[in-house]
């Protein structure tokens, strides 16, 4: 078992916006369907208190820009009801400082800010369905995974 696979209510996890939106994507693709089911299992683990959800001002801002009101509302409600730790705008300078070298590595600015928030919050895991991000960036402090890979690692 890796150092990351430590189960318990003190394990912090960050899901980026594309991860939260995966259930609203075309489920006729098998990979999308699997990612959706894994993401819903992660949300269940959060609801049970097995994982601590970390949210951020970047995540809330990005969600607020969605033109799909049903999605936007459902995601905001989940963030509000289950956030164990929030990285607020008061940390903007720190987040930018952490994000700059991530951006320099070729990661898009928005994605780098999400990763920076998760790092600042001490997350063990960062979940995304963005294959480009997952291939582009590695961290010694936090494991970046697709939700399916997370579920496989945790043995759920």
Largest CA distance in the chain: 42
pLDDT reported for residue 138:
87
pLDDT reported for residue 19:
96
Share of the chain above pLDDT 90, in %: 88
Mapped onto helix, strand or coil, the DSSP state of residue 105 is: coil
pTM for this structure? Answer: 0.91
pLDDT reported for residue 43:
96
pLDDT reported for residue 1:
29
If we measure between CA atoms, which residue out of 125, 117, 128 comes closest to residue 20? 128
9 — pLDDT class (breaks 50, 70, 90): low
pLDDT reported for residue 13:
97
155 — pLDDT class (breaks 50, 70, 90): low
Which token pair is 105? 């590595």
Neighbours of 150 (CB within 10 A): 26
Give the least confident one: 25-29, 85-89, 151-155. 151-155
């Amino acid at each position: 078992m890796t150092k990351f696979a430590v189960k318990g209510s003190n394990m912090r996890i960050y899901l980026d916006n594309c991860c939260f939106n995966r259930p609203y994507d075309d489920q006729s693709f098998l990979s999308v369907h699997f990612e959706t089911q894994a993401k819903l299992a992660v949300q269940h683990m959060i609801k049970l208190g097995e994982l601590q959800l970390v949210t951020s001002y970047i995540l809330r801002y990005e969600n607020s820009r969605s033109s799909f009101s049903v999605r936007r509302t459902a995601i905001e409600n989940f963030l509000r009801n289950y956030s164990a730790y929030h990285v607020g705008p008061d940390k903007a300078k720190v987040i930018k400082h952490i994000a700059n070298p991530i951006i320099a590595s070729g990661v898009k600015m928005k994605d780098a800010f999400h990763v920076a928030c998760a790092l600042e919050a001490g997350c063990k895991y960062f979940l995304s369905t963005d294959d480009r991000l997952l291939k582009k960036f590695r961290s010694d402090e936090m494991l970046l995974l697709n939700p399916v890979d997370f579920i496989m690692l945790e043995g759920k």
